């Protein structure tokens, strides 16, 4: 009885219906393709969530303000460097200036208007010789 | 927590799901359709797979079972087995295979399901018990009886085996 049952079980396993190789290959390809596309979207979602997590962590310790300050300073420094390299430098003290003369700087002479003293006249004592 | 991909190695899973489906509804295009649909659904609902509840194969077999139970009833053609072979090992093997398929197709749905789960999908009695929400011991007993009825069906082709009153399911 035991032997018979074992035979039947073996037979059932051995004669298990098998799909055609073509069907297996086709379905396997579809499954792998489906997995790949899902894995791609999962990767994008993972990267996004990671970035959001980093931002949240930074914001919680004031890192965002620090980062924005640092960025602002860097921008200012970069601007300065760029400006000085492209702008016209005016040299005020140079041998050529000494040789060809300094540009005359016209100073407006202050006219000191003599104001007549108003009010009580000054009385000088008479010349007596 | 790392997500487990249940369809990482699909080829052996395809063969075993097909084995189960073919024992349930017969070998051929219908079995291929159900197997394909099973994997389509598995891809769609991949997130619902919980490795703590069972292995990927058991999960796929669960999907296939629901698909088979939900499909509209179809006319099942009886497999005709010639009375005797005229000789040749290959022919004998083929005849034996046909006799086996015919006998399985004549079993009651419950017995057929058990045979398909055990010998088509190659699930263990414990995995079957989890799938059918039964105790392992009950599954072993039910399988033993289903095998007895299958043997009777093979020995007496044509007459569907009758379940005795009061036998455990």
What rounded mean pLDDT belongs to chain B? 84
Instruction: Say how far apart CA B12 and CA A6 lie, in whole Å.
Output: 24
Q: Say whether pLDDT at B57 is over 80.
A: yes
Instruction: Say how far apart CA B25 and CA B64 lie, in whole Å.
Output: 11
Sort A78 into a burial class: Cβ within 10 Å, 0-12 / 13-18 / 19+.
exposed
Chain A CA closest to residue B97: A15
Task: Please state the pTM of the whole predicted model.
Answer: 0.62
Does the beta-carbon distance from A31 to B39 stay under 8 Å?
A: yes
Tokens of residue A68, six digits:
């924005």
Domain that holds residue B143: 10-155
pLDDT at A15: 87
CB neighbourhood size of B26 (10 A): 18
Chain B CA closest to residue A2: B144
Q: At what angle are helices B56-70 and B125-132 packed, to 10 degrees?
A: 50
User: How does pLDDT run across B90-136, given as a tens digit for each residue?
Assistant: 777 788 888 888 899 889 999 999 999 999 999 999 999 999 999 99
pLDDT at A102: 59
CB neighbourhood size of B48 (10 A): 12
Residue B140 belongs to a domain: yes
Does the beta-carbon distance from B15 to A18 stay under 8 Å?
A: yes
Does the beta-carbon distance from B31 to A13 stay under 8 Å?
A: no
pLDDT at A76: 86
Q: Please, where are the H alpha helices in chain A?
A: 2-14, 21-60, 63-86, 95-100
Interface of B with A (CB under 8 A): 5, 7-8, 10-11, 14-15, 18-19, 22-23, 27, 31-32, 35-36, 39, 43, 46, 96-97, 100-101, 115, 118-120, 122, 144, 147, 150-151, 154
Residue B107 belongs to a domain: yes
Does the beta-carbon distance from A17 to B27 stay under 8 Å?
A: yes
Count CB pairs under 8 A between chains A and B: 77
Q: Say whether pLDDT at A57 is over 90.
A: no
pLDDT at A1: 46
Residue B168 belongs to a domain: no
> Which ipTM did the prediction report?
0.77
Instruction: Write the CATH number for B62.
Output: 1.20.140
Instruction: Say how far apart CA B135 and CA B96 lie, in whole Å.
Output: 33
How many distinct structural domains can be found in chain B? 1
pLDDT at B83: 56
Residue B125 belongs to a domain: yes
DSSP B46: G
Tokens of residue B154, six digits:
């093979």
Chain A, 13 to 72: residues with Cβ < 8 Å from chain B are 13, 15-19, 23-24, 27-28, 30-32, 34-35, 38
Domain spans of chain A, in order of start: 2-98
Residues of chain A with C-beta less than 8 angstroms from the C-beta of B33 = none
């Amino acid at each position: 009885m035991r032997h018979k049952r074992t035979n039947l079980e073996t037979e059932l396993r051995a004669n298990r219906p098998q799909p055609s190789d073509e069907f297996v290959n086709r379905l396997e390809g579809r499954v792998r393709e489906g997995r790949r596309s899902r894995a791609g979207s999962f990767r994008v979602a993972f990267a996004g969530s990671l970035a959001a997590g980093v931002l949240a962590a930074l914001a919680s310790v004031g890192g965002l303000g620090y980062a924005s300050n640092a960025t602002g300073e860097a921008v200012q420094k970069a601007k300065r460097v760029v400006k000085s390299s492209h702008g016209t430098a005016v040299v005020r003290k140079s041998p050529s200036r000494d040789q060809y003369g300094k540009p005359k700087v016209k100073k407006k002479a202050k006219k000191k208007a003599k104001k007549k003293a108003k009010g009580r006249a000054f009385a000088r004592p008479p010349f007596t010789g | 927590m790392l997500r487990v991909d249940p369809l990482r190695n699909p080829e052996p899973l395809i063969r075993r799901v097909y084995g189960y489906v073919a024992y349930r509804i017969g070998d051929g295009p219908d079995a291929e359709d159900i197997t394909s649909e099973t994997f389509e659904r598995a891809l769609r609902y991949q997130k619902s797979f919980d490795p703590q509840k069972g292995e990927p194969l058991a999960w796929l077999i669960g999907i296939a079972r629901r698909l088979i139970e939900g499909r509209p009833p179809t006319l099942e053609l009886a497999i005709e087995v010639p009375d005797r072979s005229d000789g040749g090992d290959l022919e004998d093997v083929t005849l034996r295979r046909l006799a086996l398929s015919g006998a399985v197709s004549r079993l009651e749905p419950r017995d057929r399901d058990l045979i398909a789960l055990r010998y088509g999908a190659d699930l263990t009695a414990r995995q079957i018990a989890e799938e059918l929400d039964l105790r392992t011991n009950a599954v072993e007993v039910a399988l033993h009886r289903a095998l007895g009825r299958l043997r009777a069906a093979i020995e007496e082709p044509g007459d569907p085996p009758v379940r005795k009153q009061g036998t455990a399911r």
